[in-house]
Amino acid sequence: MLGLLLAGGCIDFVEPDIAELGAPAVIQATIRLTDLGTVEVDARLVPGLDGAGFRRSVEDPPLEVLGRIVDVDSVSRNGTRRYVASWLASPDIVADTVTFRAPAVRPVSAAAPAIQWLGIRREGEDTVSLDEDEDLRLAIRLTPGDAQPQPQIRQWFLRLGNDSTAFNISADGVPPDTVLVPSQWIPTGDSVGVRLIFSQSSVLRDPPGDYVGVITVDTRLFWTLRRRSLIAAQRSVR
């Protein structure tokens, strides 16, 4: 039986072992982007069976992510198609509008699930220098425009850490223009890694509901935090 879960800030999909007659076609896709320019796509499409018990066919247009065609990686015995791809793009890819369009499945009446979601970018350099008692301010900008359709869930997660300690913070919604971290919460050390994850997700089900999309976009920004006093001390020792 088809399983879709939308609770507690996560969306999950359980692939059916035995397809039900007339159950919706389902595509589950995760798109991961980083400001290092990496793009990863992992998607599974379960065409299912029509009301007469015949397996549905997957037709053109194919799966498309960020304007690029993603080919089928494998097909299981029950007809489930796996799409896996990764490539290196410009670091600015995180600021672009994220586009996704599922393959066409016949015969279904609903349109193939598709999104145009907003990206996010870092303002300023990826290395931040601070004094020992100075608060951290990270400037972030959401790509201008309107998301189509609006994501049902938006969350962000910030992690600061080094080899010995870590600090984490998270919230629902879009990250603020400036994320403020008080100095007492910043791990000690001359170099601290900072990672911000912006997650958007939705269950898409246009009428009459016979083609469902479970889509997640995960965008990651990175900084390196350095302490001026410790760096100066290391230089004086040398």
Question: Residue 173 pLDDT > 80, yes or no?
Answer: yes
The pLDDT score that the predictor gives to residue 228 is 81
Distance, CA of 53 to CA of 189 (rounded, Å): 63
The pLDDT score that the predictor gives to residue 164 is 79
Question: Residue 14 pLDDT > 90, yes or no?
Answer: no
Residues in the chain: 238
Question: Residue 17 pLDDT > 50, yes or no?
Answer: yes
Distance, CA of 203 to CA of 212 (rounded, Å): 7
Question: Residue 68 pLDDT > 60, yes or no?
Answer: yes
Question: Residue 8 pLDDT > 50, yes or no?
Answer: no
Q: What is the pLDDT of residues 118-172, one digit of tens each?
A: 999 999 999 999 998 999 999 999 999 999 999 999 999 999 998 778 999 999 9
- Answer yes or no: are the C-beta atoms of 148 and 163 closer than 8 Å: no
Cβ contacts of 187 within 8 Å, gap of 6 or more = 160, 161, 162, 164, 165, 166, 167
**Out of 15-24, 73-82, 93-102, 158-167, which region has the weakest mean confidence (pLDDT)?**
15-24
Q: What is the pLDDT of residues 49-66, one digit of tens each?
A: 998 889 999 999 999 999
Q: What is the pLDDT of residues 222-237, one digit of tens each?
A: 999 998 865 544 454 4
pTM for this entry:
0.87
120-122 β-sheet, strand order = 120-122, 136-142, 178-181
The pLDDT score that the predictor gives to residue 237 is 47
* Cα–Cα distances in angstroms (integers) from residue 106 to residues 58, 67, 166, in the given order: 6, 23, 50
Q: What is the pLDDT of residues 208-227, one digit of tens each?
A: 999 999 999 999 999 999 98
Average confidence score pLDDT of the chain: 90
